[in-house]
Amino acid sequence: MNLILIPIILPLASALVLLIPAGRTRYLKETLAVLAAGVSMLAAASIFVTRPEPLSLAWLNDAITFTLRADSLSAFLLLAVSLFSLAISLYSFSYPWSFKGKGENCGAKWFYFNLLMTQAFAAGAVMADNMVAMLFFWEGLLVFLYTFIALSQNSHAARRTAMKAFLINAVTDLCLLAGVCITGYIAGTMSMSEISANKLTLDYGWSLFAYLLLLVGAVSKAGAFPFHTWIPDAATDSSAPFMAYVPAAIDKLLGIYFLARASIFLFTLNGSMQLLLMTLGAVTILVAVMMALVQSDYKRLLSYHAVSQTGYMILGIGTLNPIGIAGGLFHMINHATYKSCLFMTAGSVERQTGTSDLSKLGGLFSVMPVTGLCFIIAAAAISGIAPLNGFFSKELVYKGTLETGYTVFFFAAELGSFLTLASFLKLGHSVFFGKRPEALSETREAPISMLLPMLGLAAVCLAFGFGAQLPIEKFIAPALTTLGLQNFGELSGFHPDKLYFLSVIVILAAVINHMLGLAAGGGKANKASDHIHYAPVLKETYALAENRAFDLYEQVMDRVVPPFSNLLSRIDRGFDWLIDAMPSAVAGGSGRAISRFHTGSYPLYMALTIIGAVVYILLAGGLK
């Protein structure tokens, strides 16, 4: 077997085997999933080092060739997918799948089945060189996104959120499908490596349309504004391991990966498209982080940050210069690392306390020190505090925006960093510091199987920060070369320049803001953002947002679908009357009218016969 197939075939086969044992078999499913993820991780590492020959399979009499290729970028992404799959497999080993009333059918068996299937299809998507093959794996992920959420809890809310996630991604995936078809038609091939040899430009109408369709599919998968609204709902209605795996890691990796492929590898973008991408990134940063700031639920707050950080990745790629693109790709892997770690801390706290409501938490650092330490490291990383990994990837994005000359995007990114740190000060203070509620007096640290993945990811945050040169040289620089970028210069290393001192000012401003918020909120950490939440203008805007006024899906489902469905219902009833009720009424009326003539009178029948004969003769002979 070609080495490239192992990260696809092994998780796929293992997922099917998982369905065989009885649901009550203890730890068998977990062990099998961890082993499958571990072996796949080793295979991915081997692929990254050895770069085996591409695997091509002809289909439809050689009309389409499914090619799997492990270049520098796809091998790097495959390694990341395998790493997070292994981490979540270990983390979920001791997760209480009966928590919150989950039924037996929605337990570990179905979680690990969905996890391994997602891992297999994600591996196929990143290695697919043919766009048709990529679409096959991409759409498979849509199915398991639905089942992941729908089977996470035995509740109507979970099924509704699963349908919301499915429909939003299905519509945008249709855009992606159309974009792929148009791109392949214009280029004359579906092979991405062949298209890259003669990249398409946007000076042709259909080419521009194709790129925009691909853009919609990519940013929707990444969870960017305005396609993000299912993610906060999933945080409430699904499990922490799911949130740590799919929205925090896999979707971000795949969406940003394909955005980079399309924007740099397949098309040559112009200045207008650069502005569009950077604007989309800046809006995503600010809209989502403003919503994160006022959340009162641990997982829901993190979910908005998962959206906000996507904006930095889009902003970096949108700069179209090597520094910014390097920052976007580096931030992609950094975000998946610390956001998965943060969701793991949320799952541990929820498991040990039975709640994720910030008003019911507090003072947990003394009884959950490992979880608290991992939270502090990951929160500092996502806030861009030096010298952790988030600082270096954001620094590259900042420099990339400044190189474009559009400083407004730089200030938008810096404002996003300020609000990010402000919200994590509120979250950390609410959960791990302050006074512990009496109801949590018996709280203990999470199991070791949950702590080990958290510690591992927190260690990566430290290693990729203090040793940022390693991931830059081994992962990011080769990926840029694959994308056709050369001479990208110095990308790593600590530089105590103006950007560093500006980051210190941002940190101090966030701390001062938190202290002011505590004073205004009566010393309650979960109220530390109320001075912003209920400020003039913002109060009304937040009220609209909390009523889902800006949720396109909810607006369509609440305001467009019901009247449209009512119209279709009326049309359907009209057709029913036209083809069923009306013919029946006409036939019945005619029958009743004719029956009146059947009186048994011989003279009447003769008269009708003569009249009929006369009418026939007149018509047959022609009336003048």
Q: Quote the domain boundaries for residue 588.
A: 553-621
- Distance, in Å, from the CA atom of 240 to the CA atom of 108, rounded to the nearest integer, reads 13
- Amino acid 492: pLDDT: 56
**What would the two tokens of residue 399 be?**
């420099």
- Distance, in Å, from the CA atom of 594 to the CA atom of 474, rounded to the nearest integer, reads 92
Whether the Cβ atoms of residue 188 and residue 202 lie closer than 8 Å to each other: no
Residue at 207 is within a domain: no
Whether the Cβ atoms of residue 400 and residue 413 lie closer than 8 Å to each other: no
Secondary structure element (H or E) that encloses residue 415, with its range: helix 407-432
| Angle CA 268–137–10, to nearest 5 | 130
Using DSSP's 3-state secondary structure scheme, residue 17 falls into helix
Residues 383 and 510 in one domain: yes
Residues 519 and 567 in one domain: no
Residue at 612 is within a domain: yes
Please report where in the chains the tokens 């979880």 appear, as a residue.
Answer: 371
- Amino acid 104: pLDDT: 45
- Which of 472-485 are b and which e, b meaning 16 or more Cβ less than 10 Å from the residue's Cβ? beebbbbbbebbeb
297 Cβ neighbours under 8 A, 6+ residues apart: 235, 236, 356, 357, 358
CA distances from 242 to 6, 103, 118, 366, 515 (A): 24, 17, 11, 27, 34
Whether the Cβ atoms of residue 224 and residue 280 lie closer than 8 Å to each other: yes
Residues 429 and 335 in one domain: yes
- Distance, in Å, from the CA atom of 494 to the CA atom of 122, rounded to the nearest integer, reads 34
Domain final position from 499, 531, 563: 531
- Distance, in Å, from the CA atom of 159 to the CA atom of 161, rounded to the nearest integer, reads 5
Domain final position from 531, 566, 601: 531
DSSP state letter for 261? I
Residues 426 and 337 in one domain: yes
Whether the Cβ atoms of residue 317 and residue 278 lie closer than 8 Å to each other: no
From the CB of residue 45, how many other CB atoms can be counted at a distance below 10 Å?
15
- Distance, in Å, from the CA atom of 524 to the CA atom of 515, rounded to the nearest integer, reads 11
- Amino acid 451: pLDDT: 93
- Distance, in Å, from the CA atom of 156 to the CA atom of 449, rounded to the nearest integer, reads 31
Residues 491 and 525 in one domain: yes
Residues 565 and 483 in one domain: no
CA distances from 341 to 17, 74, 238 (A): 29, 23, 17
Tell me whether strands 267-268 and 64-68 are parallel, antiparallel or unpaired: unpaired
- Distance, in Å, from the CA atom of 321 to the CA atom of 325, rounded to the nearest integer, reads 6
- Amino acid 61: pLDDT: 60
Encode pLDDT of 585-615 as tens digits: 888 777 777 777 666 777 777 887 888 888 8
- Amino acid 12: pLDDT: 93
CA pseudo-torsion sign 352, 353, 356, 362: negative
Q: Which residues lie across from 191 on neighbouring strands?
A: 130
- Distance, in Å, from the CA atom of 547 to the CA atom of 544, rounded to the nearest integer, reads 5
Residue at 471 is within a domain: yes
Residues 308 and 410 in one domain: yes
Residues 500 and 441 in one domain: yes
Domain final position from 498, 531, 564: 531
Residue at 12 is within a domain: no
Please report where in the chains the tokens 């998962």 appear, as a residue.
Answer: 306
128: phi then psi, degrees, rounded to nearest 5:
-70, 125
Residue at 343 is within a domain: yes
Residues 562 and 510 in one domain: no
As a whole number of Å, the CA-based R_g of the chain is 30
Residue at 396 is within a domain: yes
**What would the two tokens of residue 570 be?**
């009326």
Residue at 251 is within a domain: no
Whether the Cβ atoms of residue 97 and residue 108 lie closer than 8 Å to each other: yes
Residue at 406 is within a domain: yes
**Residues of the chain scoring pLDDT < 50:** 99-106
Quick check: pTM over 0.75? Answer: yes
User: Which amino acid appears at position 238 of this protein?
Assistant: S
Residues 427 and 570 in one domain: no
Residues 467 and 560 in one domain: no
Helices (H), 128-270: 131-150, 156-187, 192-197, 205-222, 230-237, 240-245, 251-260
- Distance, in Å, from the CA atom of 503 to the CA atom of 391, rounded to the nearest integer, reads 9
**Upstream peptide bond of 226 is cis (omega within 30 degrees of 0):** yes
From the CB of residue 153, how many other CB atoms can be counted at a distance below 10 Å?
22
Residues 557 and 454 in one domain: no
Tell me whether strands 55-59 and 200-201 are parallel, antiparallel or unpaired: unpaired
Please report where in the chains the tokens 């990383």 appear, as a residue.
Answer: 381
Number of domains in the chain: 2
User: Which amino acid appears at position 582 of this protein?
Assistant: M
154: phi then psi, degrees, rounded to nearest 5:
-90, 70
Tell me whether strands 267-268 and 200-201 are parallel, antiparallel or unpaired: parallel
- Distance, in Å, from the CA atom of 305 to the CA atom of 342, rounded to the nearest integer, reads 10
- Distance, in Å, from the CA atom of 367 to the CA atom of 347, rounded to the nearest integer, reads 16
**DSSP string for 479-528:** HHHHTT--------S---SHHHHHHHHHHHHHHHHHHHHHHHTTT-GGGT
